[in-house]
Structure 1
Amino acid sequence: MAPQIILIDSLDDERLSAYTRLTERELRSVLEPEKGIFIAESAKVIERAVDAGLEPVSFLMGERWLDQLMPLLERVAEKWGDVPVFVASMELMEQLTGFTVTRGALAAFRRPLLAAAPDFLRGLIERAGDRPVRVCVLEGIVDHTNVGAIFRSAAALNVDGILVSPTCCDPLYRRAVRVSMGTVFQVPWCRIGTEARVWPHDGLRELHEAGFTCASMALEDDSVSLDDPALLEIPRLALFMGTEGAGLQAKTIDGSDLTIRIPMAHGVDSLNVAAASAVAFWQLCPHADNGYHYRPGMFA
């Protein structure tokens, strides 16, 4: 089946609302009330979303991208049928906000259904077999750039999965997806905790019930140094990373089994949360890139 190519001569076309007018909140709830949609920007990110099995709703691209993306569009048409591919002149695409980043290739996808945290953790443990399991819990991180960067580090450094607290921003927000370079489709993730008022007690309980040792990244007097060899012997480790500036809540630290600090020099007391996550992932996760974090078609 050939892709459904539709030439566009105006960004005012109602069929382009997802790309030109709707807010992130509206994308999540108005167009598709049950699941919502999200926008992927750039050819690489779009390709990773398709490879992960996510269902495209439509594409919007500048004319010079059509030939390059045609093999991908043909795969989409074969699997999902008549998904509209809107094609505009490069001059018209330049009118879109963020064009210099997207380079004129975008796609709208249906949001995947996320597993409940207990089922998610059970699946990670089953896939891991005899090897250690490493997950990261993001508490209240509100900067989409940081969330995207953490996902990219998690994909590169063999983190099994990411769990997102009720107060953490959406990993499928456009900027988070873009900064992650599409790795939000490669690293398994889910929400954990029911609502902010009972967090972190419900999240800690679910992790403990799944057999995880909960470790907070925090500067406490009794913190364990990140390079302590004993940390590598923990079979199931959940690493909590806190919000920008304030870090983790006191009740999260108190409810954890231990705290971990990164040894630092020159009087520096902390790192940006995205940088800290990369350092911690490198130290605590297997170095060999065996690809266990990436399952093509994981959302199919």
Structure 2
Amino acid sequence: MPEYVTDADDPRLADFTGLRDVELRKSLESERGLFVAEGEKVIRRAVGAGYPVRAVLTTERWLASLADVLGDAPVYVVSEEVMQGVAGFQVHRGALASMERLPVPPVAKVLEGGSRIVVLEDLVDHGNVGAPKQHTRRILVLEDLVDHGNVGAIFRCAAALGVDGIVLSPRCADPLYRRSVKVSMGAVFAIPYARMDNWYDGLEQIRAAGFQTLALTPDQGATPMDSVEMGDRVALLLGSEGDGLSSRWLREADEQVCIPMSPTAMEAGVDSLNVVAAAAIACHGLMRGTSIHPGRQQP
């Protein structure tokens, strides 16, 4: 039965406190082993991916639409004003769920494939999203991206274009932080990911698993992404928002690749794309020659 709550400071709502306070949420979520999903679609996708619901905070308007997915989890119903007071912002999608985190698999598990992937309805048209993966062929490796929104957007690009998995460097932002989950529209639940234990030697394990490593750089002297010769297993390396890939990872990569810029844009000083736009284009190039739709090859 739903419980009606009228006070934003009610201790039952502790999982949802200060959602805009990044440092508070990092410590709280780590301590309690939880993350927050926002909105009906994202909550449904999290439940569909197997994440247990701890509690739900919602308004009367959204209560009925979530009834079939919540099970026995406590449901706290509040007014719009109380919701904003708890979260610290206006929750346009009307519902928040605190979810139990699941263990993150080791890097080796993501590299070998066969990890759980769920279907994201109406996210993309590609028929292979949600299909079982028997052999990991294409992955992204993210080095020190610190913006949660960028990480979420890259997960969405990767899931939409059929990338098999993502490996994060130790300092990369948390894909299950609320903004990452929201921006990805639940794509963080659709693609297997793992986090390296050791940045310095992190690429060694990926190469040992048979992956060709391509380092994306704005340097127009690098090999164009659309003409690089790719083997059976390829890892595309993406660097941080400000500095890009570290010099170590650039040196260690098998090949440096770029997205060709327009000469006119270069003359005007526009010599690169932001990391999300670059990731979307590069993911499309990464999947060149792989099966997007059954029976159809990318040109």
Does structure 1 conserve the Cα–Cα contact (< 8 Å) formed by 2:83 and 2:90? no
Q: In the alignment, which residue of structure 1 is the partner of 2:83? A: 93
For structure 2, the 5+ residue unaligned runs are 116-131, 295-299
Q: CA RMSD in A?
A: 2.1
C-alpha spacing 1:97/1:57, structure 2 compared with 1 (3 Å): closer
- The answer to whether 1:109 aligns with 2:99 is yes
What amino acid sits opposite 1:55 in the alignment?
Answer: P
- The answer to whether 1:162 aligns with 2:158 is no
Q: In the alignment, which residue of structure 2 is the partner of 1:200? A: 200
Does structure 2 conserve the Cα–Cα contact (< 8 Å) formed by 1:157 and 1:289? no
Alignment of 1:58-137 (within 5 A): 58-73=55-70, 77=71, 82-97=72-87, 99-124=89-114, 128-129=133-134, 133-137=137-141
Q: 1:246 aligns with which of 236, 243, 248?
A: 243
State the 1:219 CA deviation: 3.6
Greater CA drift, 156-165 or 87-96: 87-96
The answer to which structure has the higher helix fraction is 1
SS at match of 2:85: coil
Q: 1:270 aligns with which of 254, 259, 272?
A: 272
Greater CA drift, 271-280 or 87-96: 87-96
Runs of 4+ with >6 A deviation: none
State the 1:92 CA deviation: 2.5
State the 1:98 CA deviation: 5.5
When normalised by structure 2's length, the TM-score is 0.83
- Measure the CA separation in 2 of the matches of 1:113 and 1:107: 19
Q: In the alignment, which residue of structure 1 is the partner of 2:195? A: 191
- The answer to whether 1:177 aligns with 2:181 is yes
Aligned residues: 267
State the 1:102 CA deviation: 4.3
State the 1:269 CA deviation: 1.6
When normalised by structure 1's length, the TM-score is 0.83
Could you list the per-position Cα deviations for residues 169-202 of structure 1 after superposition, in whole angstroms to 9, with x for gaps in the alignment?
11111111111111111111110233xxxx232x
For structure 1, the 5+ residue unaligned runs are 291-300
Q: In the alignment, which residue of structure 2 is the partner of 1:228? A: 227
- Measure the CA separation in 2 of the matches of 1:274 and 1:239: 14
Q: In the alignment, which residue of structure 2 is the partner of 1:298? A: none
State the 1:96 CA deviation: 3.9
Identical columns (%): 43
- Measure the CA separation in 2 of the matches of 1:157 and 1:220: 25
- Measure the CA separation in 2 of the matches of 1:204 and 1:124: 21
Does structure 1 conserve the Cα–Cα contact (< 8 Å) formed by 2:18 and 2:87? no
Does structure 1 conserve the Cα–Cα contact (< 8 Å) formed by 2:158 and 2:283? yes
- Measure the CA separation in 2 of the matches of 1:101 and 1:284: 36
